[in-house]
Structure 1
Amino acid sequence: MKVKIESVLEKKLIGIKSTMNHGEYKNIVALWQQFMPRKKEILSKLNEELFAIQVYDNFNAIEKPFEIWACVEVSNFDSIPEGMTSFIIPKSEYAIFLHKGMDASATYQKIMTEWLPASGYEIDNRPHFQVMGAKYKNASEDSEEDFYVPVLTKK
């Protein structure tokens, strides 16, 4: 499993958020169905990349609900469309993995059970996110996206 460890610069985002429990994948689909027709309303977007964000109170407490976001990166928060909100990913260190195909849970499983225990890192309590760029093809096994996992060096 190839990984890059990078210091990611602060990212300003605008989008729509929801809350879900683990395994409620229909909520993810519903969120993106709500967001995609409206993304053109965001005037300050930097590019066409899409960001899927997960914000956990405690990543290891899988019984607790967490926030999910569908959003785009923007240059500023001067004009936020009604029903959308802003979000900032702070500058910090991430492990970045290339995900291919549509089985995101299998990729996360490998990250958490294979890569993480042998890595010298631990999960930090910051947003996890995926960036879906030009090689992302919804519902295609040829799809590619980057998974960003917040990490800290183990103490």
Structure 2
Amino acid sequence: MKVVELDEKKLVGIRVVCPGDQYANEIPKASVMLRYRLGEIQKVIHPARLVGAFIVGDYSEEEDGYWVCVEVSEINEIPEGMVSLVVPKQKYAVITHKGPNHQIRSTYEQLHRWIDDHQFERIHRAWHLEISDEWGHDGINDIKVDLYDTIK
């Protein structure tokens, strides 16, 4: 586990909104769809890097959900059915999750304990990121993803 600061990220992709217990099923489907439609997105920085973004908790309808995206150098035209998002420069505590996507919650619990033990404060109402260079595949739930929890 480590602390990093990331510069602003401009993201374009697909927003997933569903009941909380369905995200483990719906996010992989959205990543497959995004991979299929990647050629429609302009100015992609790392075509092989998937960036997920979300805000912890239910604050507003606009903030609800999970954004399955790629990073772009500039937000121009957004393909039909896609969304864009700008995540400001932030500081994060980071851990890598390896294994089934439905076990990601236990990795987050480890990260949250580490944050508490090191006397950082989690920022719930900020964009949290999940960054992976391994895109999901149909029917495969084992993933390797870096979890970025926003802190101050």
Q: TM-score, with normalisation over the residues of structure 2? A: 0.81
Per-residue CA deviations over 1:105-134 (Å, capped at 9, x if unaligned) read 22112222x31321211211211111111x
Q: Determine what percentage of the aligned residue pairs are the same residue.
A: 27
- Within 2, Cα distance between the matches of 1:46 and 1:36? 14
Contact 1:44–1:79 (Cα < 8 Å) also in 2: no
Q: 2:28 matched to which residue of 1?
A: 29
Within 5 Å, give how 1:1-155 maps onto structure 2. Answer: 3-24=1-22, 25-47=24-46, 48-57=48-57, 66-102=64-100, 103-112=103-112, 114-124=113-123, 125-133=125-133, 136=134, 138=136, 139=140, 141=142, 143-152=143-152
The AA in structure 2 aligned to 1:84 is M
Q: Do the aligned partners of residues 101 and 10 (structure 1) sit closer, same or farther apart at CA in structure 2, a change above 3 Å counting?
A: same
Residue 146 of structure 1 deviates from its aligned partner by 1.0
- Within 2, Cα distance between the matches of 1:29 and 1:10? 25
Unaligned stretches of 5+ in structure 2? none
Per-residue CA deviations over 1:55-101 (Å, capped at 9, x if unaligned) read 23558xxxxx9310111000111222111121011001111112222
Contact 2:12–2:84 (Cα < 8 Å) also in 1: yes
Report SS of the residue matched to 2:121: strand
Residue 149 of structure 1 deviates from its aligned partner by 0.5
Q: 1:62 matched to which residue of 2?
A: none
Q: Do the aligned partners of residues 9 and 45 (structure 1) sit closer, same or farther apart at CA in structure 2, a change above 3 Å counting?
A: same
Report SS of the residue matched to 1:82: coil
Contact 2:14–2:30 (Cα < 8 Å) also in 1: yes
Contact 2:93–2:111 (Cα < 8 Å) also in 1: no
Unaligned stretches of 5+ in structure 1? 60-64
